[in-house]
Structure 1
């Protein structure tokens, strides 16, 4: 399975961005469409601020580095994530979310 590097922002939701960012997002959308058309098994992982804020401190809120002694695990540690759109849902955004 191919996992393209998206890092923080979903390029399919950035079609109204302005230059220079719009150039990068357009290139990423072209790559995505090529992957999809080729039939390569893939997964898009959109982390938003997760890696830079939550993961860096291992979910110890307010920290930007892991604690030295222990890490707090909330719940049983088996929670599955859910995709939540950052923008208002429209027919177009629902179509994009369905793939």
Structure 2
């Protein structure tokens, strides 16, 4: 990803500190406790039982406030996934 400065880390950007985030070419696993973990969270805590994932470029984050990103819907990609969608893709969301 050419628009990410060399050596950029999540520590360089306060927005990243309060959101779950991943840098380009990285992956993560997030565990949700309980008998049904993620399915329970998605079905009971997420609006319309859909997990929403936003993809932002570093430039979008660097040049906009969180409020501006949210109100103007400035993002590169938005996923809205049900438990069934996630099961179909083996719980892996890949963005390239």
After TM superposition, the score normalised by the length of structure 1 is 0.27
The structure whose Rg is larger is: 1
Which has the larger share of helix?
Answer: 2
After TM superposition, the score normalised by the length of structure 2 is 0.28
